[in-house]
Structure 1
Amino acid sequence: MPVGEIQTAEAGAGALLDARGQAALLPDLLVEARRVVATVTSGWHGRRRRGPGENFWQFRPFVDGEAVSRIDWRRSARDDSVYLRDREWEAAQTVWLWADPSPSMLYRSRQASASKEGRALVLVLALAELLARSGERIGYPGVMDPVSARNSAERVAANLASARPDGGFPPTGRMRRFSEAVLVGDFLDPMEALTERIDAMAGAGVRGHLVQVCDPAELAFPYHGRTEFRDPESGAKLTAGRAEALREEYQRLFDARRLFLADHCRRLGWSHVFHVTDRPASEPLIALHARLGGLPAQGGARA
C-alpha cells in the first residue's frame, strides 16, 4: 500500500467538522502549549552562542592567534591554563514556524490523545512561547511577518484563527538566508516533490528542522479483516479483504520513507525529529531545543 496516498477511513466522518472547528480550538491549544512549556522551561536556556554582547557566557581555553585583551587573568591565575572570557551573542534570529494544515493532519486514531494537526499546532505555539522569551523574531509563512515580542505565541494563534493557509508546503518567498524554519507535519506528500521543496529552502540558505508527526495507528497498522481505507485529500478508496495481510509491506514502506527523509535532512545539515502522537508533546520540544541551540543535527532522532 503506497504510504502517504492512502489514509484510514476513521479520518473521514468528522474531518470537515474538525476543520471548521479548528479556529475555535486555538485558544485551548494555546493553553495546552503553555502547559507543555511549563514542563520543559526549567531546562530551557535559550539559544546561547558566542559573539558580540555584554553578558558573560563562558570561559574557554586561550588559542594562539586570539586577542590577548580578552584573556581573563583572574580566572587564568587559578591554574596553569590561560582562559578567555566569552560573551553571549545577543543578535535576534528569525525563526519561521509552520504546522501542516493538510487534510491528512486531521487524522486521529483511538490510540492517540490528539490529532496530528492539534499536536503540530501545540508544538508550534509552545516553541513560539519559548523562543519569544529568548528574544528571537518569530514568523509564520503566509500568515505573519517576523516579530520580536513576548506575546508572539498569542499573535501566531490569533493570525491562524483568521487566516489559516491551505495545505501543502509553506511559502518561502519571505525567508532570508541564515534564518531558520521549523516545519511540523506528517510529510506524506510524494517524496520527489517533498525533497525538491526542502532542497530549494536549503539552497536559499535557510536552516531547517523537520518534525514528522505520526499517529500510532499509522505506525502499527492495527487493522484486521475487511477494511476500507480512504485518502482524505483525493477521496480515493481502497478496500482490503484481509487488512492484516498488508501490514508487513506497509510497515516496510513506512519505515523506508521515514529513514530516507531523515537521511536527506542530515545530508543538508537539517535536523529531523520523528514524533508519535501517543507520546508527550514535551519530547519533540526538548529535541527541537537541542537542535535550535546549535547542537549537531541528528537525522532521524525520535521523540
Structure 2
Amino acid sequence: MAALGALAEPALTADALARARQRAALVPDLLVEARRVANTAISGWHGRRRRGIGENFWQFRPYNQGEALSRIDWRRSARDDHTYVRDREWEAAHTVWLWADPSASMRYKSNLGEVSKEWRSLIITLALAELLSRGGERIAFPGIADPFSARNGAERLATALSHAKTMPALPDVANVRRFSDIVLVSDFLHPLEEMLALLDRLAQRGAHAHLIEIADPAEEVFPYSGRTEFSDPETGERITAGRAENYAEEYRRLYLARRETLAHHCRRLGWSFTVNRTDRPASEALMRVHMHMSGPGAAA
C-alpha cells in the first residue's frame, strides 16, 4: 500500500496543478458572467443597513425612557405629540466569508443542466463578492484570501482562486470570527457526519452561515433507465445497473433526506438553506441569501 501511495501522490499533485491552470483560464469568463449576474440582482440588492455608531441618518424612532435627552430630535418631535430619536447608520464594515466547493463531484453536468455545478458555484461566489464589495463589506475565502475590503473584490478573489494550487475538500474555519457571515456554496455530497460537524464548529465560533446547495436537475429526478453505468467522480469507482429505473424511488428518497437533514440543522441554528438548480438563474440564489443576510437575524 505504501508503494501505491507513493505512486498516487504525484498523480494527485499533477491533477491539482491542472485544476489550478483550468481555473486561471476560466477567470475572465467567470468575471464577465459574475458581473452580469450581479447587475441582474442589483435592483433588489440594498446595503445591509444597521443601527449603530456613524454619521449618516438612518431613521426616526420613538424615544425610549432612560435614553440621553441629547439624542432627541426636537424639530421632528415638534411636528406632533410624540418624541423622536434620530438613529444613525452603523458604518463598521462586516466580514463575509465565501466558499465554493472544489470537490470533483462539482464538475458534474447532465443534459438537463445549463452549466456544471462547479461553474455555477464559482459564479455565485464571485457575484456575491462583487455585490458585497460594492456595499463596502469585507470579504474573505478560507485558506485562500484573508478578509479585505476593495471595490474590485470579485477580481481580487478570482485572481487568488486562480493561483491556488490545492484546496481542501471542506473549508478551514479556524479564522472565522464571531458575528461573521459565511456563505457555503456546494452540492453537499460530502459524508453527512463531516458536514454536520463543520456546521457545529461554525456555530461554536459564533458565525452565521448560509448554505447554497447547487444541484443538477438529473440529481433530483434520476432520469435513468435500462442498463446504466454510474461512476463516482471522487473515487473513480464504477457501478453498472441492469435496470436503473428500479433504483429511482429509493435514490430520490435518500437524496432528499440528506438535503432535509442539512436544511433542518440550519433552521435549528437560525441559518439559511437555499437550493439552486443549474437549470435556474443564479440570481435567484443571490437574492435569497441577501434576504436572509439583511433580515432581522442579520449580524450587526
Same fold (TM over 0.5): yes
Structure 2 residue aligned with 1:210: 211
Structure 2 residue aligned with 1:62: 63
Give distance in 2, aligned partners of 1:259 and 1:72: 49
Structure 2 residue aligned with 1:287: 288
Deviations 1:186-242, CA, capped at 9 Å, x for gaps: 111111111011101210122111111111110111111111111100112221111
Give distance in 1, aligned partners of 2:247 and 2:84: 62
Deviations 1:45-96, CA, capped at 9 Å, x for gaps: 1111110000111222233333332222333333443322111100011111
Deviation of 1:17 after TM superposition, in Å, equals: 12
**In the superposition, relative to structure 1, how do residues 260 and 106 fare at CA in structure 2: closer, same or farther (>3 Å)?**
same
Give distance in 2, aligned partners of 1:218 and 1:16: 26
Structure 1 residue aligned with 2:48: 47
Structure 2 residue aligned with 1:220: 221
Structure 2 residue aligned with 1:102: 103
> Going by fraction, where is helix more abundant, 1 or 2?
2
Give distance in 1, aligned partners of 2:49 and 2:110: 39
Structure 1 residue aligned with 2:151: 150
Structure 2 residue aligned with 1:129: 130
Matched, 1:197 2:198: yes
Deviation of 1:295 after TM superposition, in Å, equals: 3.8
Structure 1 residue aligned with 2:112: 111
Give distance in 2, aligned partners of 1:50 and 1:161: 38
**In the superposition, relative to structure 1, how do residues 158 and 28 fare at CA in structure 2: closer, same or farther (>3 Å)?**
same
**In the superposition, relative to structure 1, how do residues 114 and 295 fare at CA in structure 2: closer, same or farther (>3 Å)?**
farther
Give distance in 2, aligned partners of 1:141 and 1:193: 17
Structure 2 residue aligned with 1:240: 241
Structure 2 residue aligned with 1:25: 26
Find the residue that maps to 2:209 and give its secondary structure. strand
Structure 2 residue aligned with 1:301: none
Find the residue that maps to 1:163 and give its secondary structure. coil
Larger Rg: 2
Deviation of 1:114 after TM superposition, in Å, equals: 1.1
Give distance in 2, aligned partners of 1:69 and 1:112: 59
Matched, 1:93 2:94: yes
Task: Please list every run of 5 or more consecutive structure 2 residues that lacks an aligned counterpart in the other structure.
Answer: 1-14
Give distance in 2, aligned partners of 1:97 and 1:135: 15
**In the superposition, relative to structure 1, how do residues 251 and 81 fare at CA in structure 2: closer, same or farther (>3 Å)?**
farther
Normalised by the size of structure 2, how large is the TM-score? 0.89
Amino acid in the other structure paired with 1:181: I
- Are the equivalent residues in 1 in contact too, given 2:226–2:244 (CA < 8 A)? yes
Matched, 1:184 2:185: yes
Give distance in 1, aligned partners of 2:111 and 2:85: 56
Normalised by the size of structure 1, how large is the TM-score? 0.88
Deviation of 1:160 after TM superposition, in Å, equals: 0.7
Give distance in 2, aligned partners of 1:59 and 1:158: 43
**In the superposition, relative to structure 1, how do residues 17 and 52 fare at CA in structure 2: closer, same or farther (>3 Å)?**
closer
Find the residue that maps to 1:131 and give its secondary structure. helix
Give distance in 1, aligned partners of 2:181 and 2:136: 15
Which shifted more, 21-30 or 85-94? 21-30
Deviations 1:256-301, CA, capped at 9 Å, x for gaps: 111110110111222111111110010000011112213448xxxx
- Are the equivalent residues in 2 in contact too, given 1:143–1:165 (CA < 8 A)? no
Deviation of 1:167 after TM superposition, in Å, equals: 4.2
Structure 1 residue aligned with 2:7: none
Matched, 1:78 2:69: no
Give distance in 2, aligned partners of 1:193 and 1:16: 22
Matched, 1:275 2:273: no
- Are the equivalent residues in 2 in contact too, given 1:101–1:165 (CA < 8 A)? no
Find the residue that maps to 1:90 and give its secondary structure. coil
- Give aligned pairs, total: 283
